[in-house]
Amino acid sequence: MKTAILIGAVAGPLLASAQLHALAKDAGLLYFGTAVSPSDSNDGAYYRLSNDIKNFGQYTPDNAQKWDATEPSRGRFTYGQADSIVNRAISNKMLMRCHTLVWYSQLPGWVSSGSWTKDTMTSVMQTHISNVMGHFKGKCYAWDVVNEALEDDGTYRNNPFLKALGDSYFALSFKFAAAADPSTKLYYNDYNLEYFPVKADGAVRIAKLVQAAGVPIHGMGLQAHMTIGRTPSRENLTWTLNKYVALGLDVAYTELDVRIKNLPSNATGIQMQAKEYADIVGSCLDVPRCVGITVWGFGDAHSWIPQTFPGAGEACLFDRNSKPKPAFSSVSALLASASGKRPPWNTAASTAVAAVTKPAAATPTAA
């Protein structure tokens, strides 16, 4: 019933005119953004919508800044694809969330298969971070410095960095990033933090390790790759965000999508998706240090979900023809209803630290 009311509130005039970034700013967030790719230009309607500053005020490159794209062979750096996205953002006067520096996946073979000592891995990491961040210095609002370093049980994921350096690689990564561009916000980024409290606690442990080393860490990125029927409640999501706020960190949803597990979808699934999108965005509105929302990306025609999760899909706010779905309507209505009710996100707002009180409801498990 609540979902139907929410969607009904924006059916008609608002459905055609609601614009996510403008509404998010009015609701006190810094941005509503999307992941983008250089190949977006091959789809005219999608590309035009991705350049609409009133709908999207921030970009994240989906793959163009990852290690295999930026340093495919040792010491040889390539930035053409990433530059095309950054230049689009600058032209559109959008923010950039840059992504990502130290990640176990999409590593070139020379890194993933190398035989590394503590000293050689330290040198390789410093060289990579310094060069990539140096190239984009002053152009990135934030960087995902370390990405997906945890298993779902909260233990450290096995990767070349952990093998060579142990858990010291977290602080080293942030140390090198802070030196390369002192003006940017530095984030740890991971998925399933919303689902598994033990993994959420692992991210707390990483943040504390970095802080204990006297190295800057500014934010926690929660990817929010969700499945309908398994998305935690707004209350539980808010509780998880506040775990990181209690450490003095900003928080953001960095890769949001809500997939429908079994296709073709039906009316019940579509309505459930709309409600769960609104719950996620609502939890960000509930937390003064939640900076913004990034969807991964915004249209079903360009979603990564069907390839990664066969049989699932339709995870985005817009359909395959770049037309808004009920989830778009529910998010737009929620943001519109929150206009003026939260102070604009800024340094003063970001100093607020909420009490971390675990809600009574249990957090559901991921699919």
Other residues' Cβ atoms within 10 Å of the Cβ of residue 170: 27
Q: How far apart are the C-alpha atoms of 83 and 136, rounded to whole Å?
A: 9
Is residue 352 classed as helix, strand or coil in its secondary structure? coil
H-only helix segments in 12-153: 13-17, 20-26, 44-50, 67-70, 80-92, 109-112, 118-135
Q: How far apart are the C-alpha atoms of 252 and 233, rounded to whole Å?
A: 17
Beta bridge partners, 96, equal 59
Other residues' Cβ atoms within 10 Å of the Cβ of residue 339: 14
Q: For residue 359, what pLDDT is reported?
A: 53
Cβ pair 347, 289 in contact under 8 A: no
Q: For residue 345, what pLDDT is reported?
A: 73
Residues marked active site are found at: 148, 255
pTM over 0.85: yes
The DSSP code for 29 is: -
Q: Which two tokens stand for residue 333?
A: 């209505």
Cβ pair 160, 116 in contact under 8 A: yes
Q: For residue 341, what pLDDT is reported?
A: 87
CA contacts within 13 A on the Cβ side of 190:
30
CA contacts within 13 A on the Cβ side of 266:
2
Is residue 365 classed as helix, strand or coil in its secondary structure? coil
Q: What is the mean pLDDT of each run of 10 residues along the chain (367 residues)?
A: 38 56 96 95 93 96 97 97 96 97 98 96 98 98 98 98 98 98 97 97 98 98 97 97 97 98 93 98 97 96 95 96 96 95 66 44 47
Q: Which fold has domain 2-351?
A: TIM Barrel (3.20.20)
Q: For residue 3, what pLDDT is reported?
A: 36
Q: How far apart are the C-alpha atoms of 166 and 112, rounded to whole Å?
A: 16
* Residue 101 to residues 104, 201, 246, 295, 355, Cα–Cα distance (Å): 10, 22, 25, 20, 32
Other residues' Cβ atoms within 10 Å of the Cβ of residue 319: 14
259-291 CB burial, b ≥16 within 10 A, e <16: bbeeeebeeebbbbbbbbbbbbbbbbbbbbbbb
